[in-house]
Structure 1
Amino acid sequence: MGVRGLQGFVGSSCPHICTEVNLRELAEHHQSRHPGCTPTIVVDAMCCLRYWYTPESWICGGQWREYFSALRDFVKSFTTVGIKLIFFFDGMVEEDKRDEWVKRRLKNNREISRIFHYIKSHREQPGRNMFFIPSGLAIFTRFALKALGQETLCSLQEADYEVASYGLQHNCLGILGEDTDYLIYDTCPYFSISELCLESLDTIMLCREKLCESLGLQVADLPLLSCLLGNDVIPEGMFESFRYKCLSSYTSVKDNFDRKGNVILAISEHISKVLHLYQGEKKLEEMLPLGPNKALFYKGIASYLLPGQKSPWLFQKPQSVIMDKQVISMNSDPDCKQEIPIYADPETKEEVPMCTDPESKQELPVCTDPEVKQKLPVGTDREFNLEAPMCTHPEINQEDPMDMEPEIKQQVTVVSDPRILKVARTHHVHAESYLVYNIMSGREIECSNTLEDELDQALPSQAFIYRPVRQRVYSLLLGDCKDGAGTGPVVKEWFVYPGNPLRHPDLVRPLQMTVPGGTPSLEVLWLNQEPETQAQRLDTLLACFNLSSSREELQEVESSLRALCCLLIYLFVQVDTLCLEDLHAFIAQALCLQGKSTTQLVNLQLDYINSRAVQLGSLLVRGLTTLALVNSACGFPWTMSEFMPWNVFDGKLFHQKYLQSEKGYSVEVLLEQNRSWLTRFHNLKAVICKACVKENRRIVGRSHWTSHHSGRWGRQGSSSYRTSNTYSHSGQGQSWRDQGPGNRQYEHDQWRRY
């Protein structure tokens, strides 16, 4: 993320912009100037994931116990010296930045292909130069930090804007991250996470004032510079010819700077000596070749303006807006009578949908949640032992940091009940749920890359395996919404899987589910505190996985393993190429994990790396993120700790058990001769196998594998989905490889068990 070429320019050409600082000393100085105010650092968590993930092993699905320990050490280093941390995570991808998101995902696909080629060639983990963060790391880091008692927030837009806004408005000590956009925002100081020494709390501060001094600019010019160079909003190619023209006429080209460095200097000189000369006399579009890109360019500059800030390069919008006579329907369903008036900005002609607040009768932009005066029932967060009204957050008395959105970042929501949407928004903002608000507010979600081998035809992508679960969640969250065709609403899925060029989202419709006693409303699931509601929440969760028939067996499983047990049943019903040896490895690692210390897991050594086991590890972790979605949507029938990976999964340990199971080792050896684990192993296996038999799925050992179900052990590249006409757990369907990527409408799970 950030401004094209700026990071390299600062590091190589302008080292004086970078100043060594000690965060403990800065905190002491800050507190002396602001008595009674706790020194606070805002952390851009997405920039820090690579820094935080210190375990040596990363290929096997994640060393989660080690990772949790590393996060705890990180937090302790700051809290010990009296520094408070506020963590921000990206909550969604903005439309303007989708192209950039896609470009990075496709680049990651190429990197993943090289990783699997290396594994197959060398049977070992690649070096750190090919490091790829484990699947689900960002999602589970949110929950890990909350479990460690940290204030963790999830953005309603690109997180860097909210980080910069929070830092400015709350007089924070600084921002910790790795994004040159923080040099552009006029906000609090910016500290580098990559240069941080945790033991001493020394790091580098990048000073935007010194940057301006070097470039002959003012701080207010930096957004203009950023857009002319190219950033996540403005494509790099938009001003390529303009940059070349500036470089050609630049008289101070320095041999010790690279081309990008000279381009930055040339553009800066043009701003200071040419654009400043006519500033106020001419509009910016008269001085720059904006052409048809004028609106996008101005939007790019405006995206850097924090609340209360103005730009000398933008004509300021008038305080009032005028009413345009148009109205727009919020829903294309002809039966839906709700109409939204449109206000048009007289300067930009930009249309802003409005709605009527039911309390005040005033018209507000639709992205603003109407205030709910009625006190909602108190909900208990069972993992963090916090009691709080479900529509407000107890610790934050000042304004909600998520209300700092600029006008350009508005969003039309599709859920009519403001109370339910308010609950979803609050859980989203405070990182207590996963994807629920995105589905309800915009019908659009995304999932980044997973370690999947595009050449292995036997294992389908996690995007397809868990799609029926997501479809049932869509039915639950969007139930009564209809589109113009009178059918269920379409959800746009930007999921990365082999063969998907990501030119368009997959258009996925809800899949009807059957809950014993009928599907309860979200009001019941989320707001009702009666004891019997907990049983309804669990029934709904199991229905999302289509496992209602196994409720009784799952209830017998110990609470620490029931979520994993549910996930394994679903996986083995869905994927026919999973065998008994795979099941043994999954169960054995979960049981043995409970008896391992973090040190033992760190010291565990593997004989070699198996590419199929790498995929299975990532597949299970993606299943745990799917559990987080379902649990959130159903009103938290299970505590989040029950399926956090540091409690149920360790990549290296699973890999060890997989290799042993593949070689034909006995269950006793897998369980390290522990008799108590042996009893629990057979109980868990019996529950899973019984549930699978109910779905006409018999789990067999590898020796019983037929040529028809060749999978991993047959010819390379063969497709191993079932070809019979039977109906599987998820309905009639087709090969996952034949579904075709991009812009397809998935009516209701048109594919069979694999």
Structure 2
Amino acid sequence: MGVKGLQYFMDQCCPEACEAVDLREMARQHIAKGRHNTCTTNDTNPTLVVDGMACLRHWYSCKDWVCGGQWKEFMGLLEHWVKAFTSAGIKLVFFFDGVVEEQKRQEWVKRRLRVNGDIYKVFRHIKAHGEQPDQKLFCLPSGLGTFTSFALRSLGQKVFSTVQEADYEIASYARDHGCMGILGQDSDFIIYDSVPYLSVAKLRLDGLITVLYNREGLCRYLRLAPAQLPFLACLLGNDVVSEDQMQHIRNNAMAEYRRSCPPRSSGTSHGMKILALAQLVSSVGDREERESGLVPRSLVLSATDRELLEKGIRSYLLPGQELFHGVDIPPFSSGSACVMEKFISPDILQVCREKHIEAEGFMVYGVLYEGVVECSNTLEDEEETELLPQALVYRPCREKIYGLLLHRDNGNSVEVPLVKEWFVYPGNTLKEPDMVKPVPFNLPGSQPSLEMLWFGSGPEVCGLRLASFLSVFDCQEFSELYGTIEDCFLATLCLVTYIVLQVQQLSLEDMEAYLSQAVCLRLNSHQELKNIKLPYISSRAVQLGSLYVRGLSHLLGANCAAGCPLLSNALMPWHSFDGRLFHAKYLMAHSGTEHTVLLDSDASCLSLFLCLREKVLDVCKKRDRALLSKPRPRISTYELSPKATEGPTHGDGRRVGYAHAGNLAGGSDEWRRKEERRGKYQPRVEWGMREGMRGAQSRFQNREELMEKRGQRGGERGGDNQSGAPQQLAFHPQFYPDYSDGRLLNMSPLPAQTRGRTRHPTRRR
């Protein structure tokens, strides 16, 4: 998270400490240095250690982010990024945050609540304008950090997930392995005595040019010794010592600086603050005082503040380092002890830790070692009263994962502990964690042990792994499909069925949108997906997209807990989800599009879709879940524009859903003639029913007559049939031109029960 304002200060006030560097030339110099220094343990291959979490915003440059992520395109961008370095002979090693340490929990909470405010603005913008907001409100797609580590591993890269403070592990690894630099965006790397720190934000990938932040240059400018930088960092505020806790020291330092020093070219008031603190650090205490401890005795501090400062300074000392010769400094330990060891065998804990470090697992390490699971922000509309937050939708699933990991059927009387959940969702203030009880699930016979699931072999154990995985999602019926359909479609089927069972407000159209986009994804290249043009953005579809991607991470967690009956690669979003494609299918499904059109007129896709759809409906019937057709007409002010009457299209003008058929008004003449010869063509009304809308305008001249007519035909419109059985409904236009500028007026009668979100136009945060 870095030192408050230090990097900005270097950019604005200390240009001599910011060097433009050519990474290719750095690599050549690194190789030459290694050849001349035969005693070094450095790898002669030039290696960059990459702070993965800091790079996510720079890697995800896809235009779409609000719909849930363009994962195929993102994979292409990652591959291009990696290739730029490897083709220059530079090896990459990636680190991702694997834990949130308790000492940083409050800082984590502050950031999550701040992002919640941005998400609130995102949904307000979508509902007001029907489009994605600009980059000022950019939010990373859900699960990006989790899935990126797997993506990089699939590209053959070395990836680590941390078990303590990520910056500390990165700096330690880079120093121990003699790497040529650290690529990231965190000013803590200026403070560590490690290897050169390089900016990913200023990286020009085409030429491999970036900025190196020179800690020696900074020290010369501030007139400090390198060993004094950790003290300065703690006074400014960092992850260990909050900015507020040292405010009184900064105030005193500023007052003294104004009295004793003439104005200096610091650029900003923040620059003056850093200069004032640098003066304080260099002046307090003599050498003997410094050697007696990390914080000079002449600095007046309470015992609590002094202890906190010393802890913060120690956090910058890498293994084997010391600040001052002869000072006895106890080692800094940021990793926490295993709190679940009395419930888990040592062999399980060892394998769990190894898989976590190698970025091969998800969720399991947090449960088994710390009894804590966290989840960052998700694009969820806090004004949406119909859809549950993802944290609550997937809690029953997590309860079973915890039960699989922690429950033991061995007569042990020790009560299984609760798991602390730090999940961000609307209404959760994050003042304390949610305490969740592990729930055992029922399998024929006794619950299998982790030892059997993780270390066992043979067909029987394979069957137990699959049964355990499916039971987490209450989808035991799907075991017969294992091996008959691809694992990615089995995973999609489990996830969609689980969502439908948990979210009672989900409709048949929602389910069909999920399944159709997963089935059709492979028909589209990432360029075709990128070029899909949506007529407008639906806030409900945005939330459903994020809900699906969060579900993929739960599939991954359940798979890890059950001993990996499915390959992890099958659970990755680039195999089953694209945000823009899902959005297009959602809009089409809710406009009554026929299945053939919804499945891009592809026979194999249609067949697979109908199979998966039937399986979902069968489970719903067994669980007494009535999955009804509830098409959702466009109801927001932004949808009154002419653009909203058009269907989603590819960049070349083809309508999404007609991969080879021109547009939804019937396709090109050539395609229509071919279909007529095959006996398969049926004339269709264009998506959005534009012709029907124009006809309606001539038939109904005023609002009263229109309302009267619509009231007579109310039984024909979308909704539930009297039998309660799902039905496929034709699309009936709910909007007719009424404004002089051609905009459409919503004339839908108010439903008896709320459909969609409840609006609070006067609500304030």
Question: Shorter-chain TM-score category?
Answer: 0.7 to 0.9
Alpha-carbon distance between aligned partners in 1 of 2:134 and 2:622, rounded to the nearest angstrom: 45
Please show how residues 334-373 of structure 1 align to structure 2 within 5 Å.
none
Bigger CA drift: 623-632 or 508-517? Answer: 508-517
Does structure 1 conserve the Cα–Cα contact (< 8 Å) formed by 2:409 and 2:447?
no
- How large is the Cα RMSD of the aligned pairs? 2.2
Please show how residues 443-482 of structure 1 align to structure 2 within 5 Å.
443-480=371-408
Bigger CA drift: 650-659 or 696-705? Answer: 696-705
**Could you say which residue in structure 1 is the equivalent of 2:339?**
413
Instruction: Name the SS for the 1:468 alignment partner.
Output: helix
User: 1:237 Cα deviation (Å)?
Assistant: 1.1
Structure 2 residue corresponding to 1:581, chosen from 497, 509, 530: 509
Structure 1 residue corresponding to 2:175, chosen from 165, 168, 171: 168
User: 1:478 Cα deviation (Å)?
Assistant: 1.4
Instruction: Name the SS for the 1:25 alignment partner.
Output: helix
Structure 1 residue corresponding to 2:719, chosen from 695, 704, 707: 704
User: 1:554 Cα deviation (Å)?
Assistant: 6.1
**Could you say which residue in structure 2 is the equivalent of 1:294?**
306
**Could you say which residue in structure 2 is the equivalent of 1:71?**
78
User: 1:646 Cα deviation (Å)?
Assistant: 0.6
Per the alignment, do residues 471 and 461 of structure 1 end up closer, same or farther by CA in structure 2, a change over 3 Å counting? same
Amino acid at match of 1:33: K
Alpha-carbon distance between aligned partners in 2 of 1:97 and 1:314, rounded to the nearest angstrom: 30
Amino acid at match of 1:647: H
Deviations along 1:426-478, one digit per CA (max 9) or x if unpaired, are 00000000021111011011100000000001100100011111111111111
Per the alignment, do residues 279 and 188 of structure 1 end up closer, same or farther by CA in structure 2, a change over 3 Å counting? same
Instruction: Name the SS for the 1:494 alignment partner.
Output: strand
Does structure 1 conserve the Cα–Cα contact (< 8 Å) formed by 2:182 and 2:197?
yes
Alpha-carbon distance between aligned partners in 1 of 2:335 and 2:608, rounded to the nearest angstrom: 52
Does structure 1 conserve the Cα–Cα contact (< 8 Å) formed by 2:48 and 2:182?
yes
Per the alignment, do residues 698 and 616 of structure 1 end up closer, same or farther by CA in structure 2, a change over 3 Å counting? same
**Could you say which residue in structure 1 is the equivalent of 2:660?**
none
**Could you say which residue in structure 2 is the equivalent of 1:652?**
580
Amino acid at match of 1:579: S
User: 1:516 Cα deviation (Å)?
Assistant: 2.6
User: 1:519 Cα deviation (Å)?
Assistant: 1.6
Per the alignment, do residues 551 and 281 of structure 1 end up closer, same or farther by CA in structure 2, a change over 3 Å counting? closer
Deviations along 1:558-608, one digit per CA (max 9) or x if unpaired, are 433000000011110111110011111111111111111111111111111
Per the alignment, do residues 232 and 113 of structure 1 end up closer, same or farther by CA in structure 2, a change over 3 Å counting? same
**Could you say which residue in structure 2 is the equivalent of 1:441?**
369
Instruction: Name the SS for the 1:446 alignment partner.
Output: strand
Task: Select the structure of larger CA radius of gyration.
Answer: 2
Instruction: Name the SS for the 1:204 alignment partner.
Output: strand
Alpha-carbon distance between aligned partners in 2 of 1:572 and 1:689, rounded to the nearest angstrom: 10
Instruction: Name the SS for the 2:204 alignment partner.
Output: coil
1:539 matches 2:467: yes
Structure 1 residue corresponding to 2:269, chosen from 238, 248, 259: 259
Structure 2 residue corresponding to 1:85, chosen from 63, 80, 92: 92
Deviations along 1:293-351, one digit per CA (max 9) or x if unpaired, are 23222111111100100123994147xxxxxxxxxxxxxxxxxxxxxxxxxxxxxxxxx
User: 1:34 Cα deviation (Å)?
Assistant: 1.2
User: 1:535 Cα deviation (Å)?
Assistant: 1.1
Alpha-carbon distance between aligned partners in 1 of 2:345 and 2:34, rounded to the nearest angstrom: 43
Gaps of 5+ in 2: 36-42, 631-717, 722-749, 761-765
**Could you say which residue in structure 1 is the equivalent of 2:102?**
95
TM-score (norm 1): 0.81
TM-score (norm 2): 0.80
Alpha-carbon distance between aligned partners in 2 of 1:314 and 1:599, rounded to the nearest angstrom: 61
Alpha-carbon distance between aligned partners in 2 of 1:43 and 1:280, rounded to the nearest angstrom: 34
**Could you say which residue in structure 1 is the equivalent of 2:28?**
28
Per the alignment, do residues 525 and 466 of structure 1 end up closer, same or farther by CA in structure 2, a change over 3 Å counting? same
Amino acid at match of 2:323: S
User: 1:529 Cα deviation (Å)?
Assistant: 2.7
Alpha-carbon distance between aligned partners in 1 of 2:757 and 2:379, rounded to the nearest angstrom: 22
Does structure 2 conserve the Cα–Cα contact (< 8 Å) formed by 1:457 and 1:716?
no
Amino acid at match of 1:712: R
Q: Percent identity?
A: 44
**Could you say which residue in structure 2 is the equivalent of 1:310?**
322
Alpha-carbon distance between aligned partners in 2 of 1:557 and 1:281, rounded to the nearest angstrom: 68
1:271 matches 2:281: yes
Alpha-carbon distance between aligned partners in 1 of 2:373 and 2:573, rounded to the nearest angstrom: 22
1:428 matches 2:439: no
Count, aligned residues: 631
**Could you say which residue in structure 2 is the equivalent of 1:120?**
127
Amino acid at match of 2:299: L
Gaps of 5+ in 1: 319-404, 718-754
User: 1:201 Cα deviation (Å)?
Assistant: 0.5
Per the alignment, do residues 485 and 13 of structure 1 end up closer, same or farther by CA in structure 2, a change over 3 Å counting? farther
**Could you say which residue in structure 2 is the equivalent of 1:512?**
440
Bigger CA drift: 185-194 or 588-597? Answer: 588-597
Deviations along 1:252-293, one digit per CA (max 9) or x if unpaired, are 343652121111101101111233466347653632343122
Does structure 1 conserve the Cα–Cα contact (< 8 Å) formed by 2:311 and 2:332?
no
Amino acid at match of 2:624: N
**Could you say which residue in structure 2 is the equivalent of 1:591?**
519
Does structure 1 conserve the Cα–Cα contact (< 8 Å) formed by 2:284 and 2:296?
no
**Could you say which residue in structure 2 is the equivalent of 1:693?**
621
Alpha-carbon distance between aligned partners in 2 of 1:709 and 1:90, rounded to the nearest angstrom: 48
Instruction: Name the SS for the 1:607 alignment partner.
Output: coil
Per the alignment, do residues 281 and 73 of structure 1 end up closer, same or farther by CA in structure 2, a change over 3 Å counting? closer
1:152 matches 2:147: no
Please show how residues 184-223 of structure 1 align to structure 2 within 5 Å.
184-223=191-230
Does structure 2 conserve the Cα–Cα contact (< 8 Å) formed by 1:298 and 1:314?
no
1:18 matches 2:18: yes
